[in-house]
Structure 1
Amino acid sequence: MFGGRRLRELNARMNDLEVRAGTRGRGGSDGLAESSRARRAWGDSFGLLATRALQIIVVLVLTTVVVIGLRTLSTVVIPILLALIFASTFAPVMGWLRARIPAALATVLVLLTIVLLLTAVGWLIVWAVKDQWDDLSTQAQDGFAQVLDWVKTLPFAPDHEQLMEWRDTIVDFLTSSQFGSGALAGVGVVTNFITGFVLMVVVLFFFLKDGPQIWRFLLRPFEGAALARAERAGAKTVDTLGHYVRGTASVAAVDAIGIGIGLVILQVPLALPLAVLVFVLAFIPIVGATLAGILAALVALVANGPLSAVLVVGVVVLVNQLEGNFLQPVLMGRALKLHSLVILLALTIGTVLSGVLGAVLAVPIAAVAWGVIQVWDGPDLPAKPFRPKPGETD
């Protein structure tokens, strides 16, 4: 009797288990079907496009956050970046001095040299802008007016309203405080400039004195292949920044001396301020040299007439050809050579983000990025997407 009851209970439990198992099986099949449909939806061409779009959106959002953060902290970021550039520029000098005198004394000597050089260049810029800018802008405006009068005589000349609009645009730019204050425009008000300068000097002192120790500390989280890649990237960054700044300063000095001598021989007024502006603007590739040449030609046009302006243009073109075909390849090397389109894009982005200072810093940052890509997978092995195909040249 009890055996029959237990048998019936056992059969009921088995039936219940079978029913539940069947239900789970149907639910699992439905889940697998839904998962398969989801994979097919994201695996076709439209799904791949949506995936790539989401990835691009994420990258753009992260880039925007980084850019906004850097701009918000520009008073800190810019001095640190400038300190890194100066430390990289004077790294060979520091290495030479460390081998002969104590490290602390070498650091103080190099730091004082950098501060004195910056002070001298800053004084020249302020003097050229403050004391001579009114004369320069007046001469340039008069020269541009003469150019407009000549253009009006051409059969295909634009109408008077267009000429006046172009004239007002250029004059407003030449007489604006941003253009006139040049290197100071990107830093901001005087208080921020002083704060940033002091911070840069302090950070530069520690970069010069303890740069290798700081770098080794930053490399601690990396191991194996990642460590080797980080070491290559760091060495390439210092080497690229040093070569770029030293090469650009040498080229700028030659440009300023060459064009300045030409202006003195042609008896163009304000030759020294124009030479100073040539030196400063030479740190903005392509655009800077062109702008300095136009300004010098306009001053020569007003002071000495059209022939003198044409001769000034010839001097500027000759010096620029010497720079592009001889000085830059010798002083800067092919490793730092960037395509003109890349330079223009970097200048545009840097100017939009940080004004004149952004234009000055954009190209060395782009050069560093390209240099790191060149050693990403090995000392002479670029990252895979940037390797030339068989038969191609760099």
Structure 2
Amino acid sequence: MKESNATPEDGESTLGTDDGVPDGPRAESIASQQPPGSGTAAAETRPPSFLSRLLRFLKITTADSNRPPSDHGDDPEPAIGVPGVRHPVFTGFMFSVGVGLALLLYFILTNVGSLLVWIAIALFIALGLDPIVRYLERHRVPRPVGVLAAMLLLAVIFGGAVGILIPTIVKQTTAFVEKAPDIVDSFLNSDFFTTVDEQFQVRERITEEVDKFFQNTDALGGVFGGVIGVGSVVAQGLFGTLIVLVLAIYILAALPGLKSWFYRLAPRSKRERVELLSEQISNSVGNYVMGQAIVALLNALYAFIIMSIVGVPYSLLLALVVVVLAFIPLVGAVIAGILVSLIALTVGWETAVVYAIFYFGYLQFEAYFISPRVMQRTVAVPGAVAVIAVIAGGTLMGIVGALMAIPLAASAILLIREVFMARQERR
């Protein structure tokens, strides 16, 4: 068919629509010549599909209300990824799933809480041993050899504790349980308590409560557990310690692979930044754990020497208590000093005063000379933040929470400084 060269008449337009159909009277004449039910008319009268009816039933509306009609009816096509109004049944189902997952998580945490605590302690021990391994690596020692050296160090410490400390601790603990009434009587008859009783008249009340406590076999069994209970507690402690040490060795050996896997979870564009921050956090935590261990060991060694000189009973057992409490920053060493001073009162107030003077004097020396040099590679934590972190950690997880409070607070401060504050400075 030949094309027409005729010019358009007045009132008509040669402009067509997007699909090539002209507008105006010519379009109307062309449309009137088409048979009914053909072309776009058939598409407009086509019944809605199953998907359209389902979406209409669920009343899922898209954010774009001006979308053109779809080929399957008058309903707009749903925009993929655009949230809309959900059906109440769907909302209730998802809420039930969320509640079920929360209950499952609570059940898991309450039943494997001890395992999670062991894993957390093992992770901190591994991070504390990692500076030793990295130091050996810098001196061209292969990492497997460094891990083996760390393993031998832990084995020596654990074997020494089992071979030397444990028998003495069991013996002294048993003797302490058996002589606890005599120790209380000695304290009640001491010059210090006599002076206090003359001012406040508390002897009769304390004596009555102490006698009632030691006559209650259930209370004694619950608190001390007798000789068998002490042995059971020691055995459980040894088993838990062994599990923690084994986990620490495995984590230390697999630490580079674990870090690499963790870094791959971040987007490629931000992976280098995530790796840098993670290395800073792990190095800070590792240096803190190692430094705190050195400070605690020096503290316990000094306390043991002073207790041996002034004649405080159960010096080895109390030294073990001191080394555990000294790991707790800020308040742990103070609590250990007060505890040992109270036990020293059973010997005499002079012994308690002498020990308190020398021990708390050492704490001042430690705070100004030892800790700053040992902790110089860790992130500085403000005093108020440290106190709040220790109290919160101790409230949530006891001694373990208090031990981990400072490194976790230091990590949070590092993230805030390097991420949030840096982002605010760029605005």
**TM-score under structure 1 length normalisation:** 0.64
Please show how residues 77-116 of structure 1 align to structure 2 within 5 Å: 77-98=116-137, 99-116=139-156
Pairwise CA distance, 1:345: 2.6
Shift of residue 301, structure 1, vs aligned partner: 2.7
Q: Aligned match of 2:388 in 341, 345, 349?
A: 341
Q: 1:142-153 alignment to 2 at 5 Å? A: 142=185, 144-145=187-188, 146=190, 148-153=193-198
Relative contact order, CA 8 A, sep 6+: which one is greater? 1
- Distance in structure 2 (CA, Å) of the matches to 1:274 and 1:65: 42
Q: Structure 2 vs 1, CA of residues 69 and 169 (structure 1 numbering), >3 Å: closer, same or farther?
A: farther
Contact 1:244 1:364 in 2 (8 A): no
Matched, 1:376 2:415: yes
Mapped pair 1:325 → 2:365? no
Over 3 Å counting, the alpha-carbon distance change for 1:204 and 1:162 in structure 2 is closer
Shift of 1:228: 4.6
**How far apart are the structure 1 equivalents of 2:277 and 2:183?**
45
Q: Is the 8 A contact 2:327 2:403 kept in 1?
A: no
User: Does the CA contact (< 8 Å) of 1:251 and 1:327 recur in 2?
Assistant: yes
Distance 2:247 2:255 in 1: 10
Report how far residue 132 of structure 1 moved: 0.8
* Mapped partners of 1:241, 1:150: distance in 2: 48
Listed one character per residue, the Cα deviations across residues 33-60 of structure 1 (whole Å, up to 9, x for unaligned) are xxxxxxxxxxxxxxxxxxxxxxxxxx99
Aligned residues: 318
> Contact 2:129–2:286 (CA<8 Å) still a contact in 1?
yes
Say if 1:223 and 1:281 are closer, same or farther in 2 by CA, change over 3 A.
Answer: same
Q: CA deviation at 1:114?
A: 1.5
What whole-Å deviation, never above 9, does each CA across 1:136-181 have from its counterpart, x for those lacking one?
45375345424544321115x55843785599889979x9349x99
CA deviation profile, 1:100-144 (whole Å, cap 9, x unmatched): 344333322221212221332455553353111244453753454
Distance in 1 separating the partners of 2:276 and 2:213: 47
1:211 to 255, 263, 266: 255
Q: 1:162 to 1:270 in 2, by over 3 A?
A: closer
* Separation of aligned partners in 2, 1:200 and 1:274: 23
Distance 2:167 2:125 in 1: 24
For structure 1, the residue ranges without an aligned partner over 5 or more in a row are: 1-58, 352-358, 389-394
3-state secondary structure, aligned to 1:342 = helix
CA distance in 2, matches of 1:325, 1:347: 25
**Cα distance in structure 2, aligned partners of 1:169 and 1:244:** 42
Q: 1:261 aligns with which of 305, 316, 327?
A: 305
Q: In the TM superposition, what whole-angstrom CA distance separates every residue of 1:58-87 from its partner, at most 9, and x where no partner exists?
A: x99999976663342235323332332222
1:310 maps onto 2:353 in alignment: yes
> For the residues of structure 2 that align with 1:265 and 1:199, how far apart are their CA atoms?
36
Report the CA distance shift for 1:79/1:348 in structure 2 as closer, same or farther (over 3 A): closer
Larger Rg: 2
Can you list the C-alpha shifts for 1:264-305, whole angstroms capped at 9, x where unaligned? 3323343333333322322234554344333432443333x2
**Matched-pair identity in %:** 21
Q: Distance in 2 between matches of 1:63 and 1:164?
A: 49
Query: Which residue does the alignment assign to 1:74?
Result: 113
Task: Provide the TM-score with structure 2 as the length reference.
Answer: 0.60
1:251 aligns with 2:295: yes
Going by fraction, where is helix more abundant, 1 or 2?
Answer: 1
Following superposition, the deviation at residue 233 of structure 1 comes to: 4.7
Q: Distance in 2 between matches of 1:103 and 1:269?
A: 45
Give the whole-Å Cα distance in 2 for the aligned partners of 1:302 and 1:257: 22
Q: Residue 253 of structure 1: CA displacement?
A: 1.8
Partner in structure 2 of residue 21 of structure 1: none
Paired with 1:372 and 1:112, the residues of 2 have a C-alpha distance of: 30
Question: Is the contact between residue 240 and residue 367 of structure 1 (CA under 8 Å) also seen in structure 2?
Answer: no
Q: Is the 8 A contact 1:140 1:295 kept in 2?
A: no
Which residue identity lines up with residue 346 of structure 1 in the other structure?
Answer: G
Residue aligning to 1:19: none
Q: What's the counterpart of residue 282 of structure 1?
A: 326
Rate the CA distance shift 1:306–1:291 in 2: closer, same or farther, 3 A: same
